[in-house]
């Protein structure tokens, strides 16, 4: 608490953003590269100013800070006993000052979205099988610990390559902001409708309808992820939640395209 992480880390390139900004950083003592997610607490205050025309109190901000710590605890659980789950992003340490919250994590090479977006052809069946097999390892731990992902999407599935040719890789699942509180805050701060769509296209109907959330909702999202890996397109689409729900109801599962592998089709 109140220790400035910049004393220990040299901040390098900006590599991503969600709620907060993610930077590549270097640990000064060892030169080891890591990722740091930095959240400016001022971001939490912006909606209060816009909607209530005043500064929020410390008590009003507390629930949001609690969400960050909750996310961190879930990431630690996802790593498994003795931190042996290699398919979860490692978290090393965190810092909180008066103005910022910083989480230091394992640095990965890219996410699945970038991989399939930059690839001219579709992933091979063997590549998809390897990704699914590794995701399954982490899902087992998630279910055992009763962790809900809720907003699983391609950006939170990361890759760490084992060789220069990028033919061997380790899948790293990063838990996103799976709190409704943070999701609503991020939605208020976002100026991009596309980002909001990105959440809904992976969401189970129960989430779209704001019904009771159960762990099977995450399996729906995983099914959408696998479908996108196979076909580079979403199974169901819509400009808003109502249109997306109608698309799901009208098309059903008989609409889903088939791969060249019957086992993979059955899994989806």
CA distance 265 to 26: 43
Nearest to 67 by CA among 20, 35, 34, 17: 20
- 3-class SS shares of the chain: helix, strand, coil, % to 5: 45, 20, 35
CA distance 150 to 19: 16
Provide the residue-wise pLDDT of the chain in tens; the chain has 268 residues: 456 788 999 999 999 877 788 999 999 999 999 999 998 888 788 877 877 788 888 888 888 888 888 888 888 888 887 778 899 999 999 998 888 889 999 999 999 999 998 888 888 999 999 999 999 988 888 888 888 887 788 988 999 999 988 889 999 998 766 666 666 666 666 644 444 444 578 989 998 888 888 888 999 999 999 999 999 999 999 888 899 999 999 998 888 999 989 999 999 9
pLDDT of residue 194: 45
List the domains of the chain with CATH numbers: 5-105 (3.30.200.20), 110-267 (1.10.510.10)
DSSP 68-135: HHHHHHHHHHHT-GGG--TTB--EEEEEE-SSEEEEEE---SEEHHHHHHH-SSPPPHHHHHHHHHHH
């Amino acid at each position: 608490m109140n220790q400035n992480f910049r004393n220990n880390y040299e901040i390098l390139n900006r590599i991503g953003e969600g709620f907060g900004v993610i930077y590549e950083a270097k640990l000064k003592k060892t030169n080891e590269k890591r990722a740091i997610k930095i959240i400016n607490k001022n971001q939490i205050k912006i909606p209060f100013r816009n909607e209530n025309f005043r500064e929020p109190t410390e008590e009003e901000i507390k629930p949001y800070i609690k969400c960050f710590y909750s996310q961190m605890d879930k990431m630690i659980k996802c790593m498994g006993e003795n931190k042996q789950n290699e398919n979860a992003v490692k978290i090393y340490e965190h810092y909180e000052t008066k103005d910022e919250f910083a989480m230091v994590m394992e640095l990965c090479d890219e996410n699945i979205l970038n991989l399939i977006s930059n690839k001219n052809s579709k992933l091979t069946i063997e590549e998809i099988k390897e990704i699914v097999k590794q995701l399954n390892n982490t899902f087992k731990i998630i279910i055992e610990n009763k962790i809900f992902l809720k907003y699983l999407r391609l950006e939170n599935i990361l890759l760490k390559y084992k060789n220069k040719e990028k033919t061997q890789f380790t899948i790293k699942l990063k838990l996103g902001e799976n709190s409704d509180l943070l999701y609503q805050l991020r939605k208020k701060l976002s100026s991009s409708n596309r980002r909001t769509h990105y959440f809904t296209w992976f969401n189970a109907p129960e989430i779209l309808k704001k019904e009771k959330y159960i762990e099977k909702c995450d399996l729906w999202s995983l099914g959408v992820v696998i479908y996108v890996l196979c076909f580079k397109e979403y199974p169901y689409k819509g400009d808003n939640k109502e249109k997306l729900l109608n698309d799901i109801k009208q098309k059903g599962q008989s609409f889903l395209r088939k791969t060249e592998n019957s086992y993979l089709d059955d899994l989806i």
